[in-house]
Amino acid sequence: MSTADAPLAGSADGFDLLVWVAVPYVCLAVFATGHVWRYRHDQFGWTSRTSQLLEHRWLRWGSPLFHLGAFMVIAGHVVGLAVPASWTGAAGIDEHAYHTTAVWAGSVAGTAMVAGLGMLCARRLLTRRVRLGTDRSDKLLFPLLSATVLLGIAATAAHNVFGPGYDYRSTVSVWFRGLFTLQPQPEAVAGAPLLFQAHALTACLLFAAWPFTRLVHVWSAPVGYLVRPYVVYRRRADTPVPVPAAGRATAAPQGRRHASGSR
């Protein structure tokens, strides 16, 4: 696969510093403080607000597809953004093998995620009872999540499936890791293709909106279920337990003693 890497610019201008340094840090700050605020003030609302009782046929297919695809996409992003290319090279994975696996596995995961998300969005729009239960946070979450996912799919398809290929690990990944090491390199992402930039920006906005939406249920996975004690269920007896008849004495009455004597 050929790559279209451009050399990193020597310095970043004010616009790049605003978009690729200030905005990500603000979004990360809102992400962290927003979760603390939500947990302290809205623990009752810390839930996925399931609507399974309102409609289950679309949910039965859409939810597993979306969640399975999301887990695969998140795992791929962790490897692609957080793991440097030198590490995978040291593990014996060359660039061609890595990008081939990433493109096709990511395409399968993205397709499953888009299909599931499409079903969930259609269900929320077309089912009246579910639509009436949609609040303002959902109206923000679903378009933002859809835009982030679709832009990621479009960037992969345009540049790495049907295009000449783009090595985002030498640009976008460098910028991403620099944010967490407090050594931001906005010039690394400033020269990336527009679709990759739009995908990164919408992802930042999604992280900022995360604490105020149903996405907080991600942190409430039932991990304790794996180590909790067993719950023992007992079958009720088939034959009913005999109940004493009403008014029947449980013990024979003791006779009254009469003293006999003569006058």
Q: What is the pLDDT of residue 151?
A: 95
Report yes or no: 175 and 121 within 8 Å, Cβ to Cβ. no
Q: 145-176 burial by CB neighbour count: b if 16+ within 10 A, else e?
A: bbbbbebbbebbeebbeeeeebbbbbbbbbbb
pLDDT on residue 218: 87
* Residues in the chain, total: 263
> Average of pLDDT values for 115-144?
91
Judged against a pLDDT cut of 70, whether residue 228 lies above it is answered with no
Token pair 């907080």 in the structure block, residue: 216
Structure tokens, 234: 């007992």
* Per-residue model confidence as pLDDT tens digits over 155-187: 999 998 888 889 899 999 999 999 999 999 999
- In this prediction the pTM is 0.77
Average pLDDT over residues 110-120: 94
Residue 263, burial from CB neighbour count under 10 angstroms (0-12, 13-18, 19+): exposed
Predicted local confidence at residue 57, as pLDDT: 86
Which burial class, exposed, middle or buried, applies to 69 when counting CB atoms under 10 A from its CB (0-12, 13-18, 19+)? buried
- Tell me which residue of 106, 202, 189, 210 sits closest to 151, measured CA to CA: 202
**Position 253: which residue type?**
P
pLDDT of residue 226: 63
Phi-psi sector, 200: left (phi>0), alpha (psi -120 to 50), beta: alpha
Give me 166's structure tokens: 């783009």
Does residue 234 register a pLDDT over 80? Answer: no
CA neighbor of 140 nearest in space, from 129, 152, 148, 150: 148
**Distance between CA atoms of residues 40 and 48, nearest Å:** 17
* Rounded-to-integer distance, Cα 61 and Cα 159, Å: 30
Instruction: Specify the residue for token string 């909790």.
Output: 228
- In this structure, are residues 35 and 207 in contact, taking their beta carbons and an 8 Å threshold? no
Q: Where are the alpha helices (DSSP H) in 127-182?
A: 128-132, 136-156, 172-180
The HSE-up count of residue 192 (CA atoms within 13 Å, CB side) is: 28
